[in-house]
């Protein structure tokens, strides 16, 4: 790589990579969890996806296009606001684009693709903006997502009332994953959780389980 030597000169670098996430057993970078594709980039997972200056002091904005088989991966998610989506020219495939306007280190990049169910809600900020809230998991887990949604709303409200901090994107996603190498990850606008830190319902969860979900959801939100 030979970028321009002159100070202040911008240039465009294009890279093309081929990876095999279904063979990735490290739970780092892009990997397969059951029938879902998911990322974990902290601390050095992004370099397993593509070339990058994968250091926390290298901050960049991200515009992402995700393309996949629509039947196998009907839900496509990435950081930032959803910009557009549509059908590909190749039959059976679809795409979605996302834009995160806030510079972040590469370890906060996130992408999820799969057949997922969700609970959906909204939160109105102190300036009157309506934020779309979604908590995702496999369809059989959807009846255990309501408490995580309530915990997210409570965290957003507490942060505003206590510190005057208002969430800055238009959407906030939480995705619960069975195969995850930590409790949760604070990727900007697309938190990825171990299911153990999200799922709770009265018939199976204890008070301690509810407290854990509330604490972890709040902790990851405050990173955002």
pLDDT digits (tens, 9 = 90+) for 38-86: 999 998 999 999 999 999 999 999 999 999 999 999 999 999 999 999 9
pLDDT of residue 33: 92
For 96, phi then psi, to 5°, come to: -150, 145
- Residues in Cβ contact with 96 at an 8 Å cutoff, skipping those fewer than 6 apart: 65, 66, 76, 77, 78, 82, 84, 85
Looking at residue 1, its pLDDT comes to 59
Please report the pLDDT score of residue 6 as a whole number: 73
**How many percent of the chain have pLDDT more than 70?**
98
Q: Tell me what pLDDT residue 122 has.
A: 98
Report residue 87 as tokens: 């059908």
Question: What was the pLDDT predicted at 7?
Answer: 72
Residue 102 has pLDDT above 80, yes or no: yes
CB count in 10 Å sphere of residue 99? 16
Catalytically annotated residues:
220
pLDDT higher than threshold 90 for residue 208: yes
Instruction: Please compute the mean of the pLDDT values over residues 19-39 and round it to a whole number.
Output: 95
> If you average pLDDT over residues 215-220, what whole number do you get?
97
Burial of 5 (0-12, 13-18, 19+ CB in 10 A): exposed
* Mean pLDDT, range 202-222, rounded to an integer: 97
Q: Which structure tokens are listed for 194?
A: 């171990």
88-112 mean pLDDT:
97
Burial of 50 (0-12, 13-18, 19+ CB in 10 A): middle
The arithmetic mean of pLDDT across residues 170-176, rounded, is: 98
Residue 12: is its pLDDT beyond 90?
no
pLDDT band of 181, cuts 50, 70, 90:
confident
Query: What are the beta bridge partners of residue 194?
Result: 177
CA distance 31 to 50: 13
Closest Cα to residue 112, out of 144, 68, 146, 71? Answer: 68
What global pTM score does this model have?
Answer: 0.94
Number of neighbours of residue 171 by Cβ within 10 angstroms: 16
Average pLDDT for residues 208-214, to the nearest whole number? 97
- pLDDT > 80? residue 219: yes
pLDDT of the residue at 11: 82
Has residue 206 got a pLDDT over 70?
Answer: yes
pLDDT of res. 3: 65
């Amino acid at each position: 790589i030979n970028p321009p030597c002159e100070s202040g000169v911008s240039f465009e670098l294009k890279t093309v990579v081929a990876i095999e996430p279904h063979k990735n057993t490290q739970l780092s970078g892009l990997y397969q969890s059951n029938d879902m594709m998911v990322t974990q980039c902290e601390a050095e997972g992004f370099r397993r996806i593509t070339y990058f200056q994968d250091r926390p002091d290298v901050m960049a904005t991200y515009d992402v296009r995700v393309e996949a088989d629509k039947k196998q991966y009907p839900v496509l998610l990435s950081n930032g606001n959803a910009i557009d989506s549509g059908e590909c020219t190749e039959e059976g495939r679809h795409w979605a684009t996302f834009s995160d306007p806030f510079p972040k280190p590469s370890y906060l990049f996130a992408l999820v693709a799969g057949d997922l169910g969700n609970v959906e809600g909204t939160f109105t900020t102190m300036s009157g903006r309506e934020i779309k809230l979604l908590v995702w998991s496999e369809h059989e887990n959807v009846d255990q997502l309501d408490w995580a949604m309530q915990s997210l709303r409570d965290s957003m409200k507490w942060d505003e009332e206590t510190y005057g901090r208002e969430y800055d994107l238009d959407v906030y996603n939480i995705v619960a994953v069975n195969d995850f190498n930590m409790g949760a990850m604070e990727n900007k606008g697309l938190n990825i959780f171990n299911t153990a830190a999200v799922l709770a319902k009265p018939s199976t969860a204890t008070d301690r389980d509810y407290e854990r979900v509330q604490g972890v959801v709040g902790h990851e939100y405050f990173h955002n």
